[in-house]
C-alpha cells in the first residue's frame, strides 16, 4: 500500500515540475500563439494536474481507472503539442528532448498506476 501512495505523490511532484518547465518555455513562444497553442498547452497541463489530484482521492477502482485513462490521454495530447512546437521551431532540440523525456517518464508512472488499479 505504501508503494502505491508514493507513486501517486511522485506523479504529482513530477507533474508540477513539468508544468514549471513548460511554463518557462511557453513564455518564449511568439505572441501570435498567445491565445492559440500556448493557451491549449496551459489548459491541458492544468486539466492534467486536476485529474491527478482527483484520481488520488477516488476509492472506487473502476472510476479511478477511468480518470487515470483521461490523464493518459492528456499526456498524449501534450506530446503532440511538444512535437508540433518543435516542428514550428518554437522550442529547440534540447527543450524538445527534455520536455518529451519528462512526459515519457510521467507516462510510465501512469502505466504503473493503471497496472496497480487492475491488480486490486
| Count of C-beta atoms within a 10 Å radius of residue 84 | 14
Domain boundaries, the chain: 2-119
Residue that is written with C-alpha cell 476509492 in the block: 59
| Count of C-beta atoms within a 10 Å radius of residue 119 | 8
Scored b (16 or more CB within 10 A) or e, 10-46 reads ebeeebeebeeebeebbeebeeebeeebbeebeebbe
What pTM was estimated for this model as a whole? 0.88
> In CATH, which superfamily holds the domain spanning 2-119?
23S rRNA-intervening sequence (1.20.1440.60)
Q: Which residues contact 32 (CB under 8 A, 6 or more apart)?
A: none
pLDDT in tens, the chain (120 residues): 444 444 557 899 999 999 999 999 999 999 999 889 999 999 999 999 999 999 999 999 999 999 999 999 999 999 999 999 999 999 999 999 999 999 999 999 999 999 988 886
Alpha carbon distances (Å) from 92 to 3, 79, 98: 37, 15, 10
Amino acid at each position: 500500500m505504501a508503494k502505491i501512495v508514493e507513486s501517486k505523490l511522485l506523479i504529482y511532484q513530477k507533474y508540477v515540475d513539468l508544468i514549471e518547465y513548460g511554463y518557462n518555455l511557453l513564455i518564449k513562444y511568439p505572441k501570435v500563439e498567445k491565445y492559440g497553442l500556448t493557451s491549449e498547452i496551459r489548459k491541458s497541463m492544468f486539466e492534467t494536474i486536476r485529474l491527478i489530484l482527483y484520481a488520488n482521492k477516488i476509492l472506487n477502482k473502476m472510476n479511478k481507472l477511468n480518470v487515470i485513462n483521461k490523464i493518459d490521454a492528456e499526456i498524449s495530447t501534450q506530446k503532440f503539442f511538444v512535437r508540433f512546437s518543435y516542428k514550428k521551431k518554437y522550442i529547440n532540440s534540447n527543450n524538445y528532448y527534455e520536455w518529451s523525456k519528462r512526459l515519457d517518464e510521467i507516462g510510465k508512472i501512469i502505466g504503473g498506476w493503471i497496472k496497480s488499479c487492475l491488480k486490486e
